[in-house]
Amino acid sequence: MKRAAFTTLGCKVNQYETQRIQEEFERAGFVIVPFQEEADVYVINTCSVTGQAESKSRQTIRRARRTNPNAKVVVTGCAAQMAINQGKPIEEADLVVPNPEKLATFDRFRRRFPAWMPADASAPDIIRLVSSRTRATVKIQDGCDVLCSYCSIPKTRPVMTSRPHEEVLDEVRRLADQGFREIVLTGVLIGAYGPETGSGGPNFEDLIELLEGVEGISRIRISSIEMRQVSDRLLSLMSRSKSKVVPHLHIPLQSGSTKVLRDMNRPYTKEDYLDLCARVYDRVPRVAITTDIMVGFPTETEEDFADTVDVCERVGYLKAHLFRFSLRPGTEADVWGDPVPPDVKQARSKILAEVTSRTRRQFVGRFVGEEVTVLVERRSPKSGRLMGHSEQYLEVEVDGPDAWIGEEIEVRIREAVGDLAVGVPRVAVTSSETPAGR
């Protein structure tokens, strides 16, 4: 049988798209194997958000070619689109699929290489394959027109589109039928979802209300949202007593310096961001905020960096994704070059990692003695306990049977161990086997 392997670099949007491509190959009869194993076809969904991501994408393509020199290597994603835009060939690739045609990757492959199709195309119609049916990502939007000065995404995903809301609802219903409890809404500029770009009527908040009506789905999580798109209506939806929208928002900061934010072409100030976070904490009970932060933007001084540290301290993030500035060809920031030395970027990254690690521990510690609802995902190979995430995205471990995997249980947090919360099961929410209190 023909074997296919897949790998994804970058964001949740890429992860979702890879899964959709993989499903097409599987329906056609391909056996899916781990990427490090020998396969007949390798599909690589690349990323170009930083120079490091683009370099890793190239390394991954070369690794696939080394693993099986006779395989067909299919490359798509943002790094592939950047190469197309610049007229640069990807020598190790047999097929390069532009970003706008990414979800047609299988059709492109089938037409280009018909002899490589399996003889038996009777594979079952599987919507999504995961180790445990707990959380599924659903892409609702694509494209970005914000034009941040450092970002290449508007060049690789330039067309603003919203998926028709009935298509989104149908997908979520299928996921609920398969046993998924949580859906993660993702997109490049998710708050821009709306009728102007193809939703068929609903805007972002309307879509959320429609999704809350899907039986079987108990959690709706927003993957990432720009601060200007965190509306009062969204906070109202999150703050209702029986809301399915979990109390967790990932709101990119990028920099805490108003001057650097202006240079980045980010449409807010330090005070705007702090005011929003204060409003989120005030409106949504027990909410967690996570973020993205860039270190070493060309105009970032020590004073500017100190502003970023100040915002981290004041917001008290549960988690922060830290990345270092790298030049992206054709972006506005090119005019500044890359003047911040690598060792300075490294030192600043270390400081922010220490600060946000401390705020994470402090946030987790506030839940000791409290009850949270945990969606159980797997058993930890290290501790032997069940592991899952609370609605706030706290990582929680608890003793219990494998039957609870994929279910929601009430857990009283007993202690915080570093970044981890350890709890005691109280009352099962969806499991047929009720955990005993202790």
pLDDT digits (tens, 9 = 90+) for 372-421: 999 999 999 899 999 999 999 999 999 999 999 999 999 999 999 988 99
Separation of alpha carbons 403 and 90, rounded Å: 47
CA–CA separation, 272 and 291 (whole Å): 15
When pLDDT is averaged across residues 174-184 and rounded to a whole number, the result is 94
As a whole number of angstroms, the distance between CA 162 and CA 172 comes to 16
Neighbours of 159 (CB within 10 A): 12
Task: Indicate whether 317 pLDDT > 90.
Answer: yes
**Which two three-digit tokens encode residue 214?**
């899907």
Question: CA 207 to CA 189: how far, in whole Å?
Answer: 15
Q: How would residue 10 be classed by pLDDT, with cut points 50, 70 and 90?
A: confident
Please name the residue that has the structure tokens 């180790």: 131
- With contact defined as beta carbons under 8 Å apart, do 378 and 131 qualify? yes
Helices and strands per DSSP (H, E), number in the chain: 12, 18
The answer for residues whose C-beta is within 8 angstroms of residue 217's C-beta and 6 or more apart is: 172, 175, 176, 180, 181, 182, 183, 211, 244
Predicted confidence band of residue 328 (pLDDT cuts 50, 70, 90): confident
Phi, psi of 244 (to 5 degrees): -85, -10
Structure-token pair, residue 307: 């502003």
SS (H, E, C) 231-250: CHHHHHHHHCCCCCECCEEE
Predicted confidence at residue 120, as pLDDT, reads 55
Candidates 323, 343, 290; CA nearest to 47 is 323
Which segment, 40-54, 87-101, 293-307, 421-435, is predicted with the most confidence on average?
A: 293-307
pLDDT of 232 higher than 90: yes
CB atoms within 10 A of CB 83: 20
Strands (E), 15-71: 31-33, 41-46
Ramachandran angles phi, psi of 131, nearest 5°: -70, -35
Considering only CA atoms, which of 78, 75, 47 is closest in space to residue 62?
75
Q: What is the pLDDT of residues 43-78, one digit of tens each?
A: 999 998 888 888 999 999 999 999 999 999 999 999
Burial call 242-280: b when 16+ CB within 10 Å, e when fewer = ebbbbbbbbbbbbbbbbbbbebbebebebeebbebbeeb
CB atoms within 10 A of CB 201: 12
Higher pLDDT, 102 or 248: 248
Residue 424: name the closest of 381, 392, 385 by CA.
385
Mean pLDDT of the chain: 91
What is the per-residue pLDDT for 418?
85
Q: Which residue has the tokens 């249980």?
A: 409
* pLDDT value, residue 156: 84
The helix/strand/coil state of 43 is strand
CB 171 within 8 A of CB 123: no
User: Model confidence over 86-125: pLDDT tens digits?
Assistant: 888 898 999 999 988 898 899 999 999 998 888 654 433 3
